[in-house]
Chain A
Amino acid sequence: MQRPLNPRYLLRKSDIAFVLIALLILLVVATQGHAYYGRLHSKSALDMKQALVRKLGLTDLCLFTEARYTRHLSQADLHTAFQDHPMSLEHFPSGSLLAPPQLLKRKYEKLVP
């Protein structure tokens, strides 16, 4: 009489691991497909936004509205970050996420001996 097959030995642990990792890799590849189709799908919305930027002459993204120098990052001057009161230190949370724009640092670096 033949013994019934033990299900524990039909699928080895390495087989399960390979299948899981293959599935994860497949999902990672799928994200690339999603990103590609997402960009295609968003093209009209991006073009609409770009047209608005051109029409209004906008210079910055509306990422952080709590402070002027983080709202219009590219237009900030030396004073805006520290003009709220004497000895003013950086106190807006978004100021710790964003550094001063490159053009400010480049323009004034010659003042430092």
Chain B
Amino acid sequence: MKNWFLKQRYLIDYTLAALLRRKGKNLSLLAVYTLVVFLLVSVMLFSHSIKQEASHLLQAAPELVVQRMVAGRHDLVPAAYVEKLGQIRGVQRIEGRLWGYFFDPVVSANYTFMVQSDEQLPAGYIVVGDAIARTRGASRGDVLSFRGYNGQLFSFTIDHTLSHDSGLVSADLVLLNEQDFRGFFGIADGQFTDIALTVRNAREVRKVAEKVALALPDTRPIMRDEILRTYESIFNWREGMILVLLVGGVLAFVIFAWEKASGLSAEERREIGILKAVGWETSDIIRMKFWEGFLISLTAFLCGYLLAYGHIFFFSSALFAQVLKGWAVLYPSFALVPYVDGLQIATLLFLTVFPYAAATVVPIWRAAISDPDTVMR
């Protein structure tokens, strides 16, 4: 066993010396390989962290949200619906919610206006999210003016701003009292945006949703489970830009492996011929080439993973920032809580290291079993 280790060490010495003889080519290969791993691991870490955080935070979302649909579009809900749903057995609490969108032309940003049901702000006062305060350069005591539905200017004083840490859920929120909301958007008393239901027994939520759909056929109940499942499949590998990135990454690896497996250069063939001529066994040559592929791919994977980890959790996904922001003016801080899916990383390790190492061995085998004189010519 000791001899075997010593032998492998000598093979690795030779392999590294051979790699250093072609420094430029091998360093370029290592750099590109690292970049591909960096990109894939960055996307994996980012999407997994977002999913985990969403799963944790949205556990506190309402058990059931009921929307009214008119011709497939979300429409306002009359107060009579709130009373009707309150009679369903199992509903512990029912609340007509008021929220909506506002486009602020001053900064070209979309805000979410919302009425906080349990704590009424004084008239003329608002609470704003951190991103709004940052974008408008406003703070506590400042006055923000917005044009209402009828063109009238409404001025609100900022009571306080929501914390920066809560940006992932509140960056674009404007909280105001019910009368201000109705006056601003022109929504009459007795109408709500949607209805939030609290169900006493979590196992009864589906049954309550069925009863809602039967009692009010023009409504759409959205369960908390469905909200959580929506975020479980966010940044899904099978859809959108993430699929494009995955396909690009896989193609890059396939090109690497194909380039290695498709044959040797004249210089490499000559080198193998010389090694055979001086007494190297076929198995040693194959092992030497395996170590070459393995060391490059393992080093690239480890460097790529570490760079990706630093990128996502120390630099707040800076390289993805422009993609994530899109055309939005308001965006939260992407300082994510670090969650690492070990299984995904291990799978990527297996798929990036071993196929490449194996692909390196394939062309060597043919040259290694040939006559040295033939190979050297």
Contact = CB atoms under 8 A, between A and B. Distances in A.
Interface of A: 12-14, 17, 20-21, 24-25, 27-28, 31-32, 34-35, 38-39, 42, 45-46, 48-68, 71-75, 77-80, 83, 92-94, 96-99, 101-103, 107
A61 B230 CA distance: 11
B328 A65 contact: yes
Contacts of B65: 59, 75
A45 B175 CA distance: 21
Query: Which residue, A58, A71, A98, has most C-beta atoms of chain B within 10 A?
Result: A58
B111 to A, nearest CB: 8
Nearest to A25: B302
Contacts of A45: 165
Nearest to A103: B226
Contacts of B262: none
Interface of B: 9-10, 12-13, 16-17, 20, 50, 53-54, 56-62, 65, 67, 69, 72-74, 95, 97, 101, 109-110, 112, 114, 116-119, 129, 131, 162-163, 165-173, 175, 194, 196, 220, 222, 226-227, 229-231, 233-236, 239-242, 295, 298-299, 302-303, 305-306, 309, 313, 323-324, 326-332, 337-340
A30 to B, nearest CB: 9
Contact of B69 (A48, A52, A68, A77): A77
A21 to B, nearest CB: 7
A74 to B, nearest CB: 4
8 contacts: A39-B338, A49-B57, A55-B118, A60-B58, A65-B131, A65-B329, A71-B172, A72-B112
Contact of B172 (A42, A52, A53, A65): A65
Given A58-B58, A101-B230, 8 more contacts: A21-B298, A52-B170, A61-B169, A74-B222, A78-B72, A96-B241, A103-B222, A103-B230
Contact of B233 (A52, A54, A75, A99): A99
Given A39-B337, A94-B326, A77 B72 contact: yes
A72 B99 CA distance: 11
A97 B231 contact: no
A14 to B, nearest CB: 4
A58 B115 CA distance: 11
Query: Which residue, B57, B59, B236, B324, has most C-beta atoms of chain A within 10 A?
Result: B57
B16 A39 contact: no
A93 B45 CA distance: 21
Contacts of A97: 235, 240-242, 323-324, 326
A35 B220 CA distance: 39
B114 A56 contact: yes
A47 B226 CA distance: 22
Contacts of B175: 56
Contacts of B236: 99
B117 A71 contact: no
Contacts of B101: 68, 71
A49 B168 contact: yes
A62 B334 CA distance: 11
B337 A93 contact: no
B56 A50 contact: yes
Nearest to B308: A31
A61 B57 contact: yes
Nearest to A102: B229
A79 B72 contact: yes
A111 B315 CA distance: 46
A43 B57 CA distance: 11
A14 B171 contact: no
Given A56-B116, A64-B326, A96 B74 contact: no
Contacts of B60: 50-51, 53-54
A14 B118 CA distance: 67
Contacts of B118: 55
A11 to B, nearest CB: 11
B16 A74 contact: no
A38 B314 CA distance: 11
Contacts of B12: 13-14, 17
B303 A24 contact: yes
Contact of B165 (A49, A57, A75): A49
B337 A71 contact: no
Contact of A66 (B13, B171, B328): B328
